[in-house]
Amino acid sequence: MNISEAIRQRKSIRAYQNKEVSRESVNAILETARYSPSGANAQPWQVAVVMGETRDRIIDALLSAFRAGEPEDRDYDYYPVKWQQPFKARRIACGMQLYETLGIERQDRQGRVRQWEANYRGFDAPAMLFFFLDPSLAIGSYMDCGMFIQSVMLAALDEGLATCPQAALSGYATLVKEILGYPRDTILLCGMALGYEEKDALVNSYRTPREEVDSFTWYFD
C-alpha cells in the first residue's frame, strides 16, 4: 500500500472484532509515528495505550458519567459554541448519514442515545489510545499532535488495524486522567479506538463525502 492509497483507504471504524491487539503491533505503529514532524522538534505528544481491565474501568466510568447527566469537562473547546456555514451543514449531514445507515429514525431518541453511548465504549475496540499534551506548550503543539495522530492512523493500516479518532473520549477529561494517574493540568486532546475492523458491520459500510479540491484551494501566481 502506498501513501496515497493509505490516506484514501483510512476511515473511522465504529465496529471491531473481538480480537486482541498485541503490544508488538502497537509498538510498531508508534515506532513509525514517532517520525512525525513537530515545531522545533519538540515532539510534544504523550500516548496512553489502554487495554484489558484499565480499558474496562474507563468505559464503565465514562458510561456512568454520561448516563448520570454529568456535564463534560473538556480541557479545550474542540467544537465551536455556535456553528457557522458551511461547517454546520457538513456536521448535520455527517450525523444523518450515520443514523440513516443504521436505520435510526430522527424521533428514535433511545436509539440515538444508544449509538452515542458506543462512543464511550470506544466502539468496543480492544484497545484505546489517549493523547495528552503538556500544559506548558502552546497552540502550535496541537498542530504537531494532529500530525502525529494522523501518522498513528496510517501506520495502523500498515499493521492491518483500524482506528477511529474520538473527541468523545476526551469529554470527561478529569475522570480519564484520574484513572490513568495523569496530572490534572495535563491536556487530554482526544482518544482513539484501535482494533480489527468488523467488516460485515453495517455501521462500517458508509463513507463520509469530501469536498472537491477546487472548493478549498486557491492558486496565486
Lateral strand order in the sheet of 187-195:
46-51, 127-133, 187-195, 162-166
Closest CA to 194 of 160, 170, 168: 160
d(CA 132, CA 142): 10
| Grid coordinates given for 177 | 486522567
- Residue 124, burial from CB neighbour count under 10 angstroms (0-12, 13-18, 19+): middle
In the chain, where are the structural domains located?
A: 11-78+121-206
C-alpha dist (Å) from residue 49 to 13, 52, 138, 193: 18, 10, 24, 10
Architecture of domain 11-78+121-206: 3-Layer(aba) Sandwich (3.40)
pTM for the model stands at 0.96
User: What confidence tens digit (pLDDT) does each residue in 30-69 have?
Assistant: 999 999 999 999 999 999 999 999 999 999 999 999 999 9
Check whether 72 has a pLDDT greater than 90. yes
Residue type, 174: T
Query: Number of C-alpha atoms within 13 angstroms, CB side, residue 78?
Result: 19
How confident is the model at residue 106, as a pLDDT? Answer: 87
